[in-house]
Chain A
Amino acid sequence: MTDGRVPAGVSDGLLVWPLSMPLTPVDTLETPSAEREYVWTLNFGPQHPATHTTLRLVLTLDGERVLNAVPYIGYLHSGFEKLGEHLDFNQYVTIVDRMNYLSPLANEIAWHHAVEKLLGIELTPRCKYLRTILAELMRMHDHLLNLGTTALDLGGFTAFLYFFQQREHIYDIVELASGQRFHTSYTRVGGVLFDVNTDWINRVRKFIREFPKVYDEVDRLLTKNRIFVDRTKGIGYLSRDEVINFSAVGPVARASGVERDLRRDEPYLAYADLDFDVICSRGGDCYARYLVRMQELLESLKIIEQAVENIPGGPVNIGVESDMVLPSKPSVYRSIEGLIQHFEVIMPNRGYEVPREQIYAATESPNGELGFYIVGNAETRAYRARTRPPSFIHFSMFPHMIRNHQLSDVVAVLGSINIIAAELDR
């Protein structure tokens, strides 16, 4: 264990910047002792603009050097998992939306991925491609905000604005598909709420065309920016073994050299048909995590482009012969068969066969492996709906990452692990 410091001579892999240039945290000072009079305590949060969400840190400091950090979480705990035991598989999607609210559709897709695996539903090809496009848009959405706010906290306001404008375009695309910008509640068991049309496809194509220009601008603003690199290089170092031991996954793990991406290793949706690279780095610090996220933006764009051009025709939802899906809204309002089917799915005393079994299924969400452990009990709601939240796992590493850094590095490290308190506390 290296206590968040960069060991001498760590090799860099993807990184182009020389390691010797920026400051590395002091590790030559004598071992800190808590009895020293000048050790002081700082309460950081729960309401603080730089935490972005509601979380609290109690920092023990020697001057500006962090000796210890104790996170206190739970300020946003609202019993999501308990609610999951009382809402049915379609209703609970409105709650999972609100977990990682930077990428709500990614949560919905993960939840219904697990539910469909429990029920044994195979999606239609069109739905698989559509969900893939949405999942990748959400990855970009999440990374754009994360990269933008990281830059903002470190003094780079312009990059934040540039990326936020791109997020608006993604909001527009999502709104056009689902009718909602933020908490879309778009997926359903066995499909999605509505199909998309050619307008939507064209809007996505337009976004694919225009995004690289903005990306290049932000890349020029940040990637070789002396101040930004100084503030992130060598900060919050995690070795490969530490990352594995701490159960971290996703961009945080890939930035430390763990070659793991569920899209490639356990392909779901349409990922098996698409060509993309898994981005890894051996840097292990905040800068490496920044680079990995930046590269993943381009990979996501690549995936979206392939999926949009190859999206198959046909129905988007599985047929109503399967008694588990909700019929389309027009058929509910205009035909008696549709109305009956709707009642059969919705009414608590009707319902469908749910296996009395337990299942764990995970997807690669923007933040890492987002899994659900569902227990079925012959009801159309889960008996237990456990979420494996990546933010929760990543935040537990925080005291380890921040030790022996400066106070100003707290926001750099917090930004680089992308903590979303709603997902952290559920």
Chain B
Amino acid sequence: MVCLTELQQKFGSQIVESHFRDNRRIDISASILLPLLTSLKTEYGFNMLVDLTAVDWLEYDGATDRFSVIYLLLNLDSGERLAVRVPVNLPDAVLPSVYGLWRGADWMEREVWDMFGISFSGHPDLRRILMPEEFDAFPLRKDYPLKGRGERHNFPVITRSGS
């Protein structure tokens, strides 16, 4: 088990721990994200990044931040799991990329960029992954409607004569 006080001594006391069922989470600020994750990987044995995802808090009652990015870590030797949650706000929704720590973050960060428009500095190939290149919105944001904004109807059709 990672000791919270140990982490707080290293990275300052703004680390908050919480539990729900068997999930253990820590909330941190973006400034200590990369050193904290590096330390969790190298010193505490969290060698696998199980998932990297984001939540848009726009319509959530009482939320103070716009987004959270969630890193789900796993220590394969002990089976311990830990979720690290980082708040992100507009207009500069940028986090440092963890590509250097886990290669698995490659496509996960691309998906978060594609769906939420949160960018990751230091990612070598941050392109859209699921949506087409020319798409100009971020579909999993809460202000994007379920039915879309007519992209499908206005999709440029390439005809045989026009190509």
| A interface residues, Cβ below 8 angstroms from B | 73-74, 77, 79, 81-83, 86, 117-118, 120, 242, 244-249, 258, 260, 265-266, 355-360, 362, 369, 371, 373, 375, 377-378, 383-384, 386, 388, 392-393, 395-396, 425-426
Do the beta carbons of B131 and A386 come within 8 Å of each other? no
Contacts of A393 in B (CB 8 A): 104, 107
Do the beta carbons of B140 and A81 come within 8 Å of each other? yes
Q: Is B50 an interface residue (CB 8 A)?
A: yes
**Cα A359 to Cα B51 with chains together (Å):** 13
Do the beta carbons of B60 and A377 come within 8 Å of each other? yes
Contacts of A73 in B (CB 8 A): 129-130
Q: When the two chains form the complex, which single residue of B59, B104, B139 contacts A246, counting CB atoms closer than 8 Å?
A: B104
State which residues 119-160 of B face A: CB under 8 Å: 128-132, 139-140, 146
State which residues 63-88 of B face A: CB under 8 Å: 70, 72, 76, 79, 81, 83
Given A82-B139, A245-B104, A393-B104: A359 and B20 within 8 A (CB)? yes
Contacts of B55 in A (CB 8 A): 358, 375, 383-384, 386
**Cα A356 to Cα B146 with chains together (Å):** 23
Do the beta carbons of B139 and A360 come within 8 Å of each other? no
Contacts of B107 in A (CB 8 A): 392-393, 395-396
Do the beta carbons of A266 and B79 come within 8 Å of each other? yes
Do the beta carbons of B51 and A245 come within 8 Å of each other? no
**Cα A82 to Cα B143 with chains together (Å):** 12
**Cα A86 to Cα B102 with chains together (Å):** 33
Q: When the two chains form the complex, which single residue of B49, B81, B130 contacts A247, counting CB atoms closer than 8 Å?
A: B49
**Cα A77 to Cα B132 with chains together (Å):** 10
Q: Is B21 an interface residue (CB 8 A)?
A: yes
CB distance from A340 to the nearest CB of B (A): 29
Q: Of all chain B residues, which has the CB nearest A424?
A: B130
Contacts of A266 in B (CB 8 A): 79
**Cα A369 to Cα B49 with chains together (Å):** 12
Given A86-B146, A373-B70, A375-B55: A425 and B130 within 8 A (CB)? yes
Q: Of all chain B residues, which has the CB nearest A246?
A: B104
Do the beta carbons of B23 and A359 come within 8 Å of each other? yes
Given A77-B131, A373-B72, A386-B53: A396 and B104 within 8 A (CB)? yes
State which residues 86-137 of B face A: CB under 8 Å: 102-108, 111, 115, 128-132
**Cα A357 to Cα B104 with chains together (Å):** 27
Given A244-B76, A357-B20, A377-B60: A388 and B102 within 8 A (CB)? no
Could you give 19 example pairs across A and B, Cβ below 8 Å?
A74-B128, A74-B131, A77-B131, A242-B103, A245-B102, A246-B104, A247-B102, A356-B61, A358-B23, A358-B55, A358-B70, A360-B23, A371-B51, A384-B55, A386-B55, A393-B104, A393-B107, A396-B107, A425-B130
